[in-house]
Amino acid sequence: MQSKVYADASSALAGVVFDGMSVMSGGFGLCGIPENLITALRDSGVRQLTVIGNNVGADDHGMWAVLANGQIKKVLASYVGENKILERLYMSGEVEIEFNPQGTLAERIRAGGAGIPAFFTRTGYGTAVAEGKETRQFDGENYVMETGLVADLAMVKAWKGDTEGNLIYRKTARNFNPMMATAGKVTVAEVEYLVEPGELDPDGIHTPAIFVDRIFRGTNYVKHIERKTTRQRPAPVSATGAV
């Protein structure tokens, strides 16, 4: 069997990117984004992309680079603040945005990856999100029909992976990555630590290898923090106990 392991992001994307394709990209804000793959997607020069993700990067960071390079025509996202170029391209009509409630977006991707074409949710009933969509009552409650999502390519970021493609995420960097891994016609994973089979606890695998087509070890992670927030250490109490 051919190995899933690639040397780097550009070789991992070779042969799978094309103009007009749809791309899912994991992450919440800039946390858990596939930094190496985003750069390689920009460098590939493919255009007319439909990008599916909770956000589209933020000023100077993440998917912002692909957007700033004029490669994106449509975005499916739940929140696009802190992104001046997207604001400009959206207002001028150069980029289309389909806003999805965050939980609906997550579930659409989960459903798509699980072979479920549509589902009903209360989210958005009676709002602009429900316009033009089928609605139905179950037990007296109103629900909106939302469709499952798949993409030509899913780019995910994990903490550890093995050469078979099993993945483990870290803390809140997990977010949209596990569902996206299931919903890509081709799924490419970048990991901070690439290990041999047997080194990851099978009981602790978050994304089983069946969902991952290509994997490589990413490098030079920036992990930019959007809102660094800290607390002060309490002032040291003096030895005498006097205040």
81 binds another protein (CB under 8 A): yes
List the one residue from 107, 146, 162, 164 that touches another protein (CB under 8 A): 107
Nearest to 50, CA basis, from 19, 13, 86, 75: 75
243 binds another protein (CB under 8 A): no
Which one-letter amino acid corresponds to residue 117?
P
61 binds another protein (CB under 8 A): no
- Sequence-distant (≥ 6) Cβ neighbours of residue 35 within 8 angstroms: 62, 157, 190, 218, 220, 221, 222, 223
Closest approach of another protein to the CB of residue 205, in Å:
13
How far is the C-alpha of 38 from the C-alpha of 171, rounded, in Å? 21
Q: How long a stretch of residues is the chain?
A: 243
125 binds another protein (CB under 8 A): yes
227 binds another protein (CB under 8 A): yes
Per-residue burial over 155-182, b = 16 or more CB atoms within 10 Å of its CB, e = otherwise: bbbbbbbbebbbbbbeeebbbbbbbbbb
When the beta carbons of 18 and 88 are compared against another protein, the nearer one is: 88
List the one residue from 18, 94, 122, 147 that touches another protein (CB under 8 A): 122
When the beta carbons of 16 and 168 are compared against another protein, the nearer one is: 168
69 binds another protein (CB under 8 A): no
171 binds another protein (CB under 8 A): yes
193 binds another protein (CB under 8 A): no
